[in-house]
Amino acid sequence: MSNALQNDTLESDRELASTPLVQLSMQQAINRALGEILEADDRALIFGEDVGLLGGVFRVTDGLQQRFGANRVFDTPLAESGILGTAIGLAMAGFHPIPEIQFDGFAYPAVNQIITQLARMNYRSRGTLPMPVTLRVPSFGGIRAPEHHGESLESLFAHVPGLKVVSPSNPQQAYHLLKHAASMPDPVIFMEPKARYWNKADVNLTDNRTGGAVDSASVEGSVIARPGKHATLIAWGAMVSRCLQVAELAAEDGIELEVLDLRWLKPIDEAGLAASVSRTRRAIVVHEGPHTAGLGAEVAALVSQSCFDSLRAPVERVTGFDVPYPSGDLEDEYIPNIDRILFGVQRVLEYRRG
């Protein structure tokens, strides 16, 4: 081997060995992304209830106030409408606010600000007042919290024109999707699945093509978390992990389920959705929100519209129930479990046209 070729090979090996692949929990991945956002953009500000000195209820902002100061990472009063009003005013003044709603159930007092101002300001100003606001919302259930500390609000936010909505399912996605969301000129509702905060996985800090997802070459659209051929399980947030468990169990009986991680709930990746279901010809949508008018209904309509000739069964929905999201002692009955999802799979596989 020539010296030049040998040097090139050694340099390539060193680059490969130095790939910044680290094991992080989702909480740690979001914390790291927030730190890098603050470092890169001196207009970025983080604020919310207890996000400063305490580092947040889930310690997602731990250490950031110490690093960047109380002028850039600061606590607010317990007033969600005020938090969003402050974010809107700061965005109008040229800042990049990253407010936090402490729990998803506390978002309701801020809904008026979110819908009537945050989502509309760019439109009503004909583009002169963009709203680069990334609203972090610890979301969904699975942590056995009291009432009002677990909700599934994606259909509420996704219904509002002017908002983008995204929910990561693993640390890799959380890191890259948050950085991408913070770079957008539009308001983004970043729904963090609380039940997945402490699950660790490898995170490539420079390349978003890893992290357990197939064909996740970008931070846009959906990703196939597990390929299959007999039916597609469509999910987001914490339900992706549950659907992967279901796919593992189904594989023991020779049933190959594809798991599509939708990620972006507004806009929905219609092309990725159609491509997956066109291959498998059956679809089951899984989410924690109530059944009636849940986001699964929109997904089912898109699948029916795009894949009508391919479908071999009606689109199945496995969801929460049409009751208020319960407190922790009842959430196991409410959140779709493995058995309920498997029954949904069974229904689409056994469906026969009359």
Q: Which residues are catalytic?
A: 149
b/e sequence 254-270, b meaning 16+ C-beta within 10 Å: ebebbbbbbbbbbebbe
Whether the CB-CB separation of 155 and 319 falls below 8 Å is answered with: no
Nearest to 195 by CA among 337, 64, 344: 337
Cα(206)–Cα(19) distance, rounded to whole angstroms?
A: 8
**CB-based burial, 131-168: b 16+ in 10 Å, e otherwise:** bbbbbbbbbbbbbebeeebbbbbbbbbbebebbbbbbb
Of 140, 137, 129, the residue nearest 49 (C-alpha): 137
Question: Residue 32 phi/psi, 5° resolution?
Answer: -65, -45
Question: 195, exposed or middle or buried, with CB in 10 Å at 0-12, 13-18, 19+?
Answer: buried
**175: part of which helix (H) or strand (E)?**
helix 171-182
Whether 272 contacts 221, CB under 8 Å? yes
> Distance of CA 254 to CAs 212, 228, 250, 258, Å?
22, 11, 7, 13
Asked if 237 contacts 208 with a C-beta cutoff of 8 angstroms, the reply is no
- Largest CA-CA distance found in the chain, in angstroms, rounded: 73
Give the separation between CA 305 and CA 299, rounded to whole angstroms: 10
H or E segment to which residue 330 belongs? none
